């Protein structure tokens, strides 16, 4: 059933039905309730694509901006954002390419840029008719992201926007750790250590810790080594050396901080495995598949825009992208150097 048929059923014009279903004050409250009740009873469902198009027509907004996806970035500029970690450039490139493939374009808005803040960005987006927003990872400041949530379709990358409940796409960090333990076990390492800095625990909503705890269940008690949690400073390095000497792992899973400590060590130097892959990695690592994360962010946001889904959801959805084991030694045929 469409609006014209609904109006005919009620003896009203299509324009009256349209205004009533949009909650227009131009229609008497009693008439609005009558039309909305009849619509629900007769199974009327609006077409989100038509609604979106009509909104652009009514507001005379430029089509080029209506087809724009805003990427909100908690950095002063793109250079500093990309320098923070290569994952974020990979995600951005994937979002840009996927949006272009689907007939959209992207524009970054930097929350820490001079003169920029959430309120200013909110005004710009509203004035230009931009309705789709990706919250890019990571969150690095304490800025209060106070915006008119109901104006936009939202999705976020990763867990660093902790207080903002919305649909999210993230690397499956728990699966990453379980995968690393499984692969190292198959390489016959008996004692596998796991390290993480304190700030990284919250950054991924404890998913790496959950992966470690699940992996421990598959090891015999004699093979279990307590997780090492530290801070990237001199005191942390000293504690790390104590942990190594106490538990004597054959191989350590961690980040580049702990890798550097091991490489500069004059004592015990176990093999090393990175929690995530870098282009220049020479040791086994986990490929987060950031290109897939970026494409998924774009696809899910465009679907929300097409369905005219605005505002924050009552029940946010989490989409996790699994990682891939990457061992450059096995690829080059020199695995003995790492083993």
Pair 207, 276 in one domain: yes
Whole-number pLDDT of residue 3? 86
Specify whether 220 is located in the same domain as 305.
no
For the record, the structure tokens of 190 come out as 């008996």
Q: What is the pLDDT of residues 47-95, one digit of tens each?
A: 655 655 565 555 554 444 558 999 999 999 999 999 999 999 999 999 9
Q: Are residues 268 and 297 in the same domain?
A: no
Same domain for 13 and 117, yes or no, is no
Examine the domain organization and report whether 77 and 210 are in the same domain.
no
Is 102 strand, coil or helix?
coil
Question: Are the C-beta atoms of 158 and 168 separated by less than 8 Å?
Answer: yes
Residues 302 and 233 in one domain: no
178 & 167 share domain: no
Same-domain check for residues 163 and 309: yes
Residue 258 structure tokens: 């702990």
List own/partner pairs for 183-189 with CB under 8 A and 24 or more apart. Answer: 183/284, 183/325, 183/327, 184/251, 184/253, 184/273, 184/284, 185/218, 185/219, 187/339, 189/250, 189/251, 189/271
| Structural domain contains residue 331 | no
DSSP 3-state of 325:
strand
Work out the end-to-end distance of the chain between its first and last CA atoms, rounded to an integer number of angstroms.
Answer: 68
Contacts with 244 (C-beta within 8 Å, 6 or more apart), sequence order: 193, 252, 262, 265, 267, 268, 270
Kindly state whether residue 332 falls inside one of the protein's structural domains. no
Q: Are residues 237 and 315 in the same domain?
A: no
207's tokens: 């998913």
Based on the fold, state whether residues 31 and 84 are members of the same structural domain: no
pLDDT of residue 40: 84
Residue after which a domain boundary falls, among 264, 288, 312: 288
58 domain-assigned: no
Confirm whether 54 is domain-assigned. Answer: no
Asked if residue 335 belongs to a domain, the reply is: no
Instruction: Give the tokens for residue 117.
Output: 């803040």
CATH number assigned to the domain comprising residue 35? 1.10.260
What tens digit of pLDDT does each residue of 125-170 get?
999 999 999 999 999 888 888 899 999 999 999 999 988 899 999 9
Q: Residue 55's pLDDT is what? A: 55
At residue 159, the pLDDT reads 94
| Alpha-carbon separation of residue 145 from 120, 124, 222, 305 (angstroms) | 11, 15, 48, 21
Residues of the chain with confidence (pLDDT) below 70: 46-66, 329-339
- Is residue 86 situated within a structural domain? yes
Strand order in the sheet with 105-110: 105-110, 68-73, 132-135, 153-157, 168-171, 318-321
pLDDT at residue 50 in the model: 60
Q: Is residue 278 part of a domain?
A: yes
Can you spell out the DSSP letters for 131-183?
-EEEEPSPP-S-------GGGSEEEEESSS-TT--S-EEEE-HHHHHHHHHHH
> Which CATH number covers residue 260?
3.40.50.2300
Let me know if residue 338 belongs to a domain.
no
Other beta carbons less than 10 A from residue 43's beta carbon: 8
For residues 252 and 272, the answer to whether their CB atoms sit within 8 Å is: yes
SS3 content of the chain, % helix, strand, coil (to 5): 50, 15, 35
Range list of β-strands (E), the chain? 68-73, 105-110, 132-135, 153-157, 168-171, 192-197, 228-230, 251-254, 271-274, 285-287, 318-321, 324-326
- Check: CB of residue 310 under 8 Å from CB of residue 151: yes
Helix (H) or strand (E) holding 64: helix 63-66
pLDDT of amino acid 339: 44
E strand or H helix at 21, and its extent? helix 14-21
User: What pLDDT, on the 0 to 100 scale, is given for residue 276?
Assistant: 85
Residue 281 and residue 148 in one domain: no
Query: What is the total count of domains within the chain?
Result: 3
The reply to whether 81 and 16 lie within a common domain is no
Q: Which domain holds residue 23?
A: 3-46
């Amino acid at each position: 059933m469409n609006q014209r048929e609904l109006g005919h059923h009620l003896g009203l014009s299509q324009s009256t039905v349209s205004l009533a279903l949009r909650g227009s004050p131009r229609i008497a409250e009693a008439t609005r309730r009558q039309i909305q009740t009849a619509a629900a009873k007769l199974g009327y469902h609006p077409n989100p694509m038509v609604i979106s198009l009509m909104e652009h027509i009514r507001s005379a907004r430029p089509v080029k901006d209506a087809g724009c996806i805003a990427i909100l970035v908690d950095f002063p500029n793109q250079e500093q954002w990309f320098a923070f970690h290569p994952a974020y450039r990979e995600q951005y490139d994937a979002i840009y390419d996927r949006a272009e493939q689907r007939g959209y374009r992207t524009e970054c808005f930097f929350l820490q840029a001079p003169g920029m803040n959430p309120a200013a960005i909110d005004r710009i987006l509203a004035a230009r008719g931009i309705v789709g927003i990706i919250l890019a990872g990571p969150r690095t400041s304490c800025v209060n992201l106070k915006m008119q949530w109901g104006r936009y379709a939202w999705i976020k990358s990763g867990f660093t926007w902790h207080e903002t409940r919305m649909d999210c796409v993230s690397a499956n960090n728990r699966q990453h750790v379980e995968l690393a333990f499984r692969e190292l076990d198959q390489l016959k390492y008996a004692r596998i250590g796991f390290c993480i800095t304190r700030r990284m625990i919250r950054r991924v909503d404890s998913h790496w810790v959950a992966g470690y705890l699940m992996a421990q269940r598959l090891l015999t008690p004699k093979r279990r080594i307590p997780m090492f949690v530290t801070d990237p400073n001199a005191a942390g390095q000293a504690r790390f050396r104590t942990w190594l000497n106490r538990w004597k792992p054959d191989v350590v899973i961690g980040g580049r901080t702990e890798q550097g400590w091991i490489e500069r060590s004059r004592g015990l130097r176990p093999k090393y495995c990175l929690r995530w892959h870098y282009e220049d990695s020479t040791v086994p690592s986990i490929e987060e598949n950031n290109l897939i994360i970026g494409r998924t962010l774009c696809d899910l946001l465009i679907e929300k825009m097409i369905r005219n889904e605005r505002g924050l959801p009552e029940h946010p959805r989490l989409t996790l992208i699994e990682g891939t084991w990457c061992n450059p030694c096995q690829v080059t045929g020199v695995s003995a150097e790492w083993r």
